[in-house]
Structures are given as C-alpha cells and as structure tokens.
Amino acid sequence: MSPMALLLNVLWVVFGGLWTAIGWGIAAVIMAVTIIGIPWARAAFNIGVYALLPFGFKAVSREERFGRGD
C-alpha cells in the first residue's frame, strides 16, 4: 500500500469509514437471520470490508483474475 493510500485510508476511517463499515456489518447480521437473506448478507459484509479500507485497491474482472468468465 502506498503512503498516499495509507493516509487516505486513515482519514477515511477517522471521518466516518468506521461507522459505515459497522453499519454494513449490522445490516449483514440482520439479513443473515433469514435463509433468503444470506446471499445479501454476504454481499453486505463484503461491502462493509471494502468500506473500511477503500483506497489502494483496484477492481479486477473475474476473467482477468481466474482466467474464466461468469
């Protein structure tokens, strides 16, 4: 992680990123209560993790990462 990405991540967490991640975590727990909500709970948990440290990462297609498409 570059120094700029580290600085931006620290600022993000201090100014609201932690609360955003906690909110997505609570939403994931609420959705996981029902069987139907489990796929959305997993997605909400992933969004919460990405909301915690958003800088320094890059979105990559599944085909580029694993060599096969959807």
Q: Which residues lie closer than 8 Å to 54 by C-beta, 6 or more apart?
A: 9, 12, 17
Total-model pTM = 0.72
CA distance 60 to 18: 25
Q: What confidence tens digit (pLDDT) does each residue in 12-37 have?
A: 999 998 999 999 999 999 999 988 99
DSSP 3-63: HHHHHHHHHHIIIIIHHHHHHHHHHHHHHTTSSTTHHHHHHHHHHHHHHHS-TT-----HH
Find all residues with CB under 8 Å of 27, minimum gap 6, and list them: 41, 44, 48
pLDDT at 44: 94
